[in-house]
């Protein structure tokens, strides 16, 4: 699914109207689909529950008035808080105000009373619909809008926002100084970029996209290479798993990781690979950690490798390397390898020579940076998974510049290097060698702990071993990893989640996608 900017969405809307669909008809379609989606998002909501709708003067407010009419027709008790006089409404919004049935109570409120009346509305409602601002917001907010949104946030009623939570910038996700914190956001046509970027993404709640009949070609003309996927799309990426498979049929992956100082990273990467569904995970790590690895992950055969004076792995060559790679279908390389120059050269030479699909992370990426080389792999495109600092070093960029231009630079770098680039962060971005970009929709700050990236490396390696193409493995791995982080934090504090707990929740994340796949079969 393509991602739209505010200008792009306005152009799609305008082209649709010029093509013969009246704006009032588009508003009716939007309101109808949003109404049904609200009822799907809040299944416990049933007539005669009380619903408050807060409407601005523009088209977003017009959508809210359609929703108010349709909900009243379904038997709900609906009250509208209108933030402008009738004569100040946009034309289509005014037309829908005039169509409200007598059963909808409408209160026109002046700015000085917005916050107080919104607080009262929340106290009296089972659900509040936020229809104040769409994509046309200008920040910073006026003080009366800021007070209104704070009142909605503090009112105690669940909130469903139409198109965007009011106060969130449609392109950059900016919030200044406050925005509605929605429990659910129902957006029209395409996801808006601001819904996917911090801090706006933290105000969205459950995000859904409703189709109102925009032409696919118009959407393509007015959007760029940025994409967002639904859970059903991720479910389609799950590798097949025949009932009669065996461990070799389910995929074999070799994890090469660790140094004398950093043995834990290797163990976490192995855990991620084991939880991916791969049939056999072999862990190659320094001999100093072999006994601990056997105790911590007894499911993974251990290959103990020699280390040099600085604690890094010594190069493995010839027959020893052939034996290490025998029967492997994928390679996961990098976590905890350290910065030994001999290990650096081993990493670069191994990746240049291997025919295995590979995921490359952490110190293996830093090896390329230290040697002044672009990340390369002999096989079809490697998946590389840098955090912000590693990516800046690889690209030779100032970290601040990379952060400011992340949406542009990540796909440019993927194309330049010919890799699938997983740029870890908020949100994690996945870019393909052709320059296309995807926003990962899962995960939050529960993943801001050492070791969670090592779990992701093993997970993507395990998906490669099961036959996923590199891009599919990256997309699916990021979704599962982020969702596992969310599940690990459920019922507790995000601050206290451990990396191994993220790995332990991967089965639940996989089960969710398997259920989606089963429902769509």
Average of pLDDT values for 431-458? 97
pLDDT value at position 61?
98
207, 290: one domain: no
214, 266: one domain: no
21 domain-assigned: yes
| Residue 491 domain boundaries | 252-520
234 domain-assigned: no
- In this prediction the pTM is 0.96
268 domain-assigned: yes
278, 367: one domain: yes
Q: Examine the pLDDT at 231 and tell me if it is beyond 90.
A: yes
Q: Where are the alpha helices (DSSP H) in 107-207?
A: 114-124, 143-154
464 domain-assigned: yes
Query: Three-state DSSP class for 227?
Result: strand
Please tell me the distance from the alpha carbon of residue 369 to that of residue 389, in angstroms, as a whole number.
11
Q: Examine the pLDDT at 34 and tell me if it is beyond 70.
A: yes
Q: Which residue has the tokens 């409703």?
A: 210
Query: Three-state DSSP class for 199?
Result: coil
256, 215: one domain: no
Q: Examine the pLDDT at 208 and tell me if it is beyond 90.
A: yes
CA distances to 170, 188, 388, 407 from 404, rounded to whole Å, are 17, 28, 12, 8
256, 217: one domain: no
397, 491: one domain: yes
237 domain-assigned: no
Percent of the chain with pLDDT over 70: 100
pLDDT tens sequence across 318-374: 999 999 999 999 999 999 999 999 999 999 999 999 999 999 999 999 999 999 999
Name residue 226's beta-bridge partners: 437
Q: Which residue has the tokens 């009250």?
A: 79
pLDDT band at 33 (very low <50, low <70, confident <90, very high): very high
Print burial letters for 491-519: b (CB count within 10 Å at least 16), e (below 16). Answer: eeebeebebbbbbbbbeebbebbeebbee
Q: Which residue has the tokens 């040697």?
A: 371
Q: Examine the pLDDT at 155 and tell me if it is beyond 90.
A: yes
| 3-state DSSP percent of the chain in helix, strand and coil, to 5 | 45, 15, 40
| Per-residue three-class SS string for 241-261 | CCCCCCCCCCCEEEEECCCCC
492, 370: one domain: yes
398, 493: one domain: yes
120 domain-assigned: yes
pLDDT band at 292 (very low <50, low <70, confident <90, very high): very high
Tell me the average pLDDT of the chain.
96
Residues 6+ apart with CB under 8 A from 96: 24, 27, 31, 62, 65, 66, 69
Element (H, E) at 187: strand 184-188
CB 319: neighbour CB atoms within 10 A?
A: 8
**Token representation of residue 355:** 């025919």
Name residue 286's beta-bridge partners: 305
DSSP string, 488-509: HHTTS-GGG--HHHHHHTHHHH
Q: Examine the pLDDT at 380 and tell me if it is beyond 90.
A: no
pLDDT tens sequence across 467-493: 999 999 999 999 999 999 999 999 999
Indicate the number of domains in the chain.
2
Average of pLDDT values for 393-407? 95
pLDDT tens sequence across 213-224: 999 999 999 999
Least confident among 373-382, 487-496, 502-511: 373-382
Classify the C-alpha dihedral 140-144-148-153 as positive or negative: positive
* Residue among 32, 39, 91, 41 nearest 63 (CA): 32
191, 303: one domain: no
pLDDT band at 521 (very low <50, low <70, confident <90, very high): low
Outline where DSSP puts E strands in 40-158: 50-55, 77-82, 105-108, 127-131
Give burial (CB, 10 Å; 0-12/13-18/19+) of 166: buried
Q: Which residue has the tokens 């819904």?
A: 195
217, 256: one domain: no
Please tell me the distance from the alpha carbon of residue 405 to that of residue 14, in angstroms, as a whole number.
29
220, 257: one domain: no
427 domain-assigned: yes
pLDDT value at position 43?
87
CATH number at residue 139: 3.40.50.10260
* Residue among 261, 278, 388 nearest 331 (CA): 278
**Token representation of residue 259:** 């140094």
28 domain-assigned: yes
Q: What is the DSSP letter of 265?
A: H
Percent of the chain with pLDDT over 90: 97
Backbone angles phi, psi at 33, to 5 degrees: -70, -35
136, 219: one domain: yes
First to last CA, the chain: 21
């Amino acid at each position: 699914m393509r991602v739209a900017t505010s200008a792009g969405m306005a152009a799609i809307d305008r082209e649709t109207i010029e093509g013969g669909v009246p704006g009032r008809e588009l508003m009716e379609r939007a309101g109808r689909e949003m109404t049904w989606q609200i009822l799907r998002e809040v299944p416990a909501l049933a007539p005669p529950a009380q619903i408050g709708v807060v409407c601005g003067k523009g088209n977003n407010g017009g959508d809210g008035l359609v929703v108010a009419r349709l909900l009243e027709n379904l038997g709900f008790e609906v009250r509208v808080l209108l933030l402008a006089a009738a004569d100040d409404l946009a034309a289509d919004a005014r037309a829908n105000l005039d169509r409200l049935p007598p059963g909808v109570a409408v209160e026109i409120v002046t700015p000085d009373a917005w916050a107080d009346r919104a607080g009262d509305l929340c106290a009296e409602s089972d659900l509040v619909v936020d229809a104040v601002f769409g994509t046309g917001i200008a920040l910073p907010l006026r003080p009366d809008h800021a007070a209104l949104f704070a009142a909605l946030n503090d009112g105690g009623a669940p909130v469903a926002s139409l198109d965007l939570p009011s106060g969130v910038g449609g392109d950059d996700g900016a919030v200044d100084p406050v925005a509605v914190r929605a429990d659910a956001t129902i957006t029209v046509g395409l996801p808006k970029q601001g819904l996917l970027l911090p801090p706006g993404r933290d105000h969205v709640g459950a995000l859904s996209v409703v189709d109102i009949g925009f032409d696919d070609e118009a959407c393509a003309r007015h959007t760029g290479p940025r994409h967002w996927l639904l859970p059903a799309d991720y479910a389609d990426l799950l590798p097949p798993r025949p009932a009669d498979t065996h461990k070799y049929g389910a995929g074999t992956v070799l994890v090469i990781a660790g140094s004398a100082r950093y043995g834990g990273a290797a163990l976490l990467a192995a855990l991620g690979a084991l939880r991916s569904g791969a049939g056999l995970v072999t862990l190659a790590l320094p001999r100093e950690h072999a006994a601990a690895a056997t105790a911590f992950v007894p499911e993974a055969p251990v290959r103990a490798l020699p280390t040099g004076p600085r604690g890094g792995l010594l190069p493995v060559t010839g027959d020893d390397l052939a034996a290490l790679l025998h029967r492997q279908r994928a390679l996961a390389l990098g976590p905890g390898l350290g910065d030994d120059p001999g290990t650096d050269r081993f990493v670069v030479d191994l990746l240049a020579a291997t025919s295995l699909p590979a995921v490359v992370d952490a110190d293996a990426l830093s090896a390329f940076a230290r040697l002044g080389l672009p990340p390369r792999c002999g096989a079809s495109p490697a998946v590389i998974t840098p955090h912000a600092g590693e990516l800046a070093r690889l690209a030779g960029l100032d970290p601040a510049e990379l952060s400011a231009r992340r949406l542009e630079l990540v796909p440019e770098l993927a194309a330049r290097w010919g890799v699938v680039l997983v740029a870890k962060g908020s949100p994690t971005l996945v870019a393909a060698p052709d320059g296309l970009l995807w926003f990962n929709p899962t995960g939050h700050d529960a993943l801001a702990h050492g070791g969670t990236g090592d779990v992701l490396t093993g997970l993507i390696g395990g998906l490669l071993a099961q036959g996923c193409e590199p891009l599919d493995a990256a997309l699916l791995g990021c979704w599962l990893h982020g969702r596992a982080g969310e599940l690990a934090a459920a019922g507790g504090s995000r601050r206290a989640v451990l990396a191994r707990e993220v790995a332990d929740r991967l089965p639940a994340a996989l089960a969710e996608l398997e259920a989606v796949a089963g429902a769509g079969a």
